[in-house]
Amino acid sequence: MPLSQPGLVEVAQSVYAYVQPDGGWCLNNAGLVVDPDCVLLVDTTATERRTKELITAIETKAPHGPDYLVNTHFHGDHTFGNSYFRPRATIIAHADCARDQILAGPGLRGLWPDVDWGGTPVDAADITYTGNAAVHVGDRRVSLLHSGPAHTSGDTIVWLPDDGVLFAGDVVWAGTTPFCLMGSVTGSLAVIEELRGLGPRTVVPGHGPVGGPELLDQTERYLSWLMDVAIEGVARGRTVLEAAAAADLGEFGALLDSERIVGNLHRAYAELDGMPQGAQIDVGIAFAEMVEFHGSLPSCHA
């Protein structure tokens, strides 16, 4: 049954997803892997209040809190709570995640100045990796897989091979519109194919309810459709906003935060124009056009 409040969902023995309904802007998921001698947390939340709720939930399973905190990517909804897990936790991220987290600083807060972010200092990883890495939580191997660019250039996929559990970060979405303005559309499609190859039984998306491999299919379907909209838009000489307005959302109209089509099209247009995956584009212009398309600032319930 879908949760109405943030809470833990057991996805394997002593492995939990922390799901924050409804999964819209800045309402992300986290993950928890518990062993008597070692605890690993995947991501935090956007605000002080929400991170304190996460800590309360963690304490019901692991009173001492996490020893390791893995950030799936640099976005503030996943990382603004990092400092609350000091001094016990060692923070681990892909090198590009830590770099981009420091570059972005508290920038996300400026997009939604009315949100009560609380005390959320930027606190980047202690240990960074490139390629892949692993953390051993008791007898459990927790694989940290990097590929892409996908949602960003520094995504980490957290994969528990013995349990078939995939913490996909924002590479995979459920019930909410995928978003890869800061990564790559084509790269996301390639990474989703790689994730399918792992054979996950359970997929914890970055936002929205826990599901199975069908979540990979759903995100892939949206991104493939988006690429078609971009190709047609370029062929007809449409601007991004014109292409977004002309697009028939079809089944994707039921997803939250549909205005992300504008940001996604900015990335798709750049890629069709030959820009390398993950290269910097003007996020400010894209966000302003998303607001224009939406007709007002999209709601953020962080």
Nearer to Zn ion, 75 or 238 (CB): 75
**In the complex, least distance from residue 151 CB atom to Zn ion, rounded to whole angstroms:** 6
Show the tokens assigned to 167: 């913490």
Pick one of 50, 75, 94, 267: the residue that binds Zn ion (CB under 5 A): 75
170 binding Zn ion? (CB under 5 A) = yes
- How far is the CA of 161 from the CAs of 15, 158, 170, 201, 286, in angstroms? 12, 10, 20, 10, 37
**Piece of 115-123, 170-178, 207-215, 226-234 that binds Zn ion (CB under 5 A):** 170-178
Amino acid 67 reads: D
Nearer to Zn ion, 85 or 179 (CB): 179
**In the complex, least distance from residue 124 CB atom to Zn ion, rounded to whole angstroms:** 16
Closest CA to 259 of 232, 299, 224: 299
**In the complex, least distance from residue 75 CB atom to Zn ion, rounded to whole angstroms:** 4
Amino acid 231 reads: I
Nearer to Zn ion, 160 or 172 (CB): 172
**Piece of 74-82, 110-118, 123-131, 237-245 that binds Zn ion (CB under 5 A):** 74-82
Closest CA to 111 of 224, 54, 26: 26
Amino acid 115 reads: V
Q: Which residues of 57-84 are buried (b: 16+ CB within 10 A; e: fewer)?
A: bbeeebeeebbbbbbbbbbbbbbbbbbb
Nearer to Zn ion, 29 or 186 (CB): 29
Do 150 and 184 form a contact (C-beta atoms < 8 A)? Answer: yes
Which of positions 252-281 make contact with Zn ion (CB under 5 A)? none
User: What is the DSSP secondary structure assignment for residue 205, as one 8-state letter?
Assistant: E
**Piece of 99-107, 167-175, 228-236, 292-300 that binds Zn ion (CB under 5 A):** 167-175
Q: Find residue 127's DSSP bridge partners.
A: 92
Torsion of Cα atoms, 205 then 208 then 212 then 217, to 10°: -80
User: How many residues lie near Zn ion (CB under 5 A)?
Assistant: 2
**In the complex, least distance from residue 170 CB atom to Zn ion, rounded to whole angstroms:** 4
Nearer to Zn ion, 78 or 140 (CB): 78
Nearer to Zn ion, 75 or 266 (CB): 75
**In the complex, least distance from residue 225 CB atom to Zn ion, rounded to whole angstroms:** 20
Q: Which residues bind Zn ion (CB under 5 A)?
A: 75, 170
